[in-house]
Amino acid sequence: MSLEAETKAVVAQFDYTDEDVNKAVKEFIRQMGEGLENEGTSLSQIPTYVTGVPNGTEKGLYMAVDLGGTNFRVCSINLNGDTTFNLTFSKVAIPRELMVAKEAKDLFAFLAKQIEVFLRTHHEEHFEKHVRRRLTVSSPEGYKDEEVFRLGFTFSFPVQQIGINKGTLIRWTKGFDIPDAVGKDVCALLQDEIDKLHLPVKVAALVNDTVGTLMARSYTSPGKTGTVLGAIFGTGTNGAYVEKLANIKKPVTGEFDKSTGLMVVNTEWGSFDNQLNVLPNTKWDVELDKETPNPGIQMYEKRVSGMFLGEIVRLVLVDLLKNPSVSLFKDENSSTNDWKSTTSIAPNSGMFTQWGLDTSVMSVAAADQTPELVILRQALESQLQIHSPSLEDAQAFKAIAEAVGRRAARLAAVSIAAIVLQSGALTDPANDGEEIDIGVDGSLVEHYPYFRDMIYEALAQVEGIGAEGAKRIRIGIAKDGSGVGAALIALVAAGMEKNNPGSDYIGELRDTAKRNLSSVPEDEVAAGDE
């Protein structure tokens, strides 16, 4: 079979039809419902204790820290109340020895120290004149806060969240391994170390970066309805959306503001349809899954996110290279190559290494509209060490890469469509034709050409949305969910404190007293007793 014919046969296997999309949307909604009722379902549907989204008028100075991997970022965010903000940040690498420290306090003391350095550098006036959280029974609110920063803590490791600023670590990932921290409240671990340094900071919220994306978008691009969904389509993929509290049937422990009737839910949709009821499953998907550390898990993510798309393309190309009857990246002689050379692949080419084909090459393929695909051919040579690829080679690569990318975009549309339909925003008379706002972040929606266009194309074919409904869905970039988004969640948490001032007043008073006493040297305690 010719290369062109073989390529067409491969491309056909990645076709995800309108019928497929509609079946998947219905299944996504069904699995959402399962997750709202029970634990241990494909879609975890985790309540986040965030019970409202901003509208762009919020004001104040807040802090955010982000521990998501090998770096630790500290930010201060001044919300100006007009959908704009000013952000100051610093970033420091986590020393390798602290990633595997014997005790959790070693790591969290380092984090607290970085917060202190940041405050001294960027907020010296606050640092010097603050009165650290004076608790007074005479105050009608139960306590006063003077010059105390509320901080949102983005902690991108698996946690069991049990309150807006409470969550126990389930396990470490990304090269961290501190067994002493597992099962402990990560917010309390950080607060303890902050208090030892007498910093004017309260860890007010534990933040998931996807929830932060939702909050950041809602603040910077407000509308009558508020942002419905925050989604990440990058190295990984996930979404958080605003759900009616009445729809959450499983127990939600801990305290939260019930007055809004809403709760932001973290779907953890990377694991949608692990059962493969509706997800496509080519032989290359099967091969990729087998070679991952978590086979059978995160099946939606493995078909949608940037981390995996290049690998799917690579596996297809390797299959074609193994077929002696297909002339991919092979020439009988220079006469069959329009560059009058012969194609060769270097032995150390990424083509022969797992994860060796980066998704960025797919972006080049999608963007290159030149007649001879010169830009793509240069990228194949520079990034994959494929010397003198022919036009026919480049056309095959482009067709396969675009098929994989298009399937990913249509699958991305499935999750967006399901949540738009679940929200009822399109049919709610109160919305009166208003746009339905979706905030997105990640390399695919930012840098992969036409990814959002392909999402819209699929949304227009979904029953209950259609062409007119798709026009009302506004998909916009939301940057810095772990910074601005985290600050906004800290603001929500501060509002919850004011609305429910007595909720944990005595407990906090006792905890603060215990922490303060434990940090006083024994000789000072003895001197006070004399």
Tokens 């607060």 label which residue? 191
Residues in contact with 129: Cβ distance below 8 Å, sequence separation at least 6, in sequence order: 147
**Assign residue 175 a region: left if phi > 0, alpha if psi is -120 to 50, beta otherwise?**
left
CB-CB contact of 230 with 241 (8 Å): yes
CB-CB contact of 182 with 172 (8 Å): yes
User: Which of the following is catalytic: 18, 44, 90, 156?
Assistant: 156
180 is catalytic: no
Q: Which 8-state DSSP code applies to residue 146?
A: B
Q: Which 8-state DSSP code applies to residue 341?
A: S
303 is catalytic: no
Tokens 């409202």 label which residue? 52
CA-to-CA distance for 204 and 494, rounded, in angstroms? 7
- Lookup: tokens for 143: 């306590």
How many CB atoms lie under 10 A from the CB of residue 5?
10
DSSP of 39-58, one letter per residue? SSSSS--EE-S------S--
User: Which of the following is catalytic: 20, 185, 192, 209?
Assistant: 209
CA-to-CA distance for 134 and 136, rounded, in angstroms? 6
Query: What is the β-pairing status of strands 473-477 and 201-207?
Result: unpaired
Q: In 68-123, at which residue ranges do the beta strands (DSSP E only) sit?
A: 71-80, 85-93
How many CB atoms lie under 10 A from the CB of residue 133?
17
327 is catalytic: no
DSSP of 212-277, one letter per residue? HHHHHHHHHS--SS-EEEEEEESSSEEEEEEEEGGG--S---S----TT-EEEEE--GGGTTTT-S
CA-to-CA distance for 146 and 144, rounded, in angstroms? 6
Strand partners, 85: 79
> Which secondary structure element, helix H or strand E, spans residue 408, and what is its range?
helix 391-423
Rg (CA), the chain: 26
Overall size of the chain counted in residues = 530
- Lookup: tokens for 281: 């499953």
User: Which of the following is catalytic: 120, 171, 334, 428?
Assistant: 171
CA-to-CA distance for 156 and 142, rounded, in angstroms? 33
**280 CB-side CA count, 13 A:** 24
Sign, Cα dihedral of 67, 73, 79, 85: negative
Task: Give catalytic residue positions.
Answer: 156, 171, 209
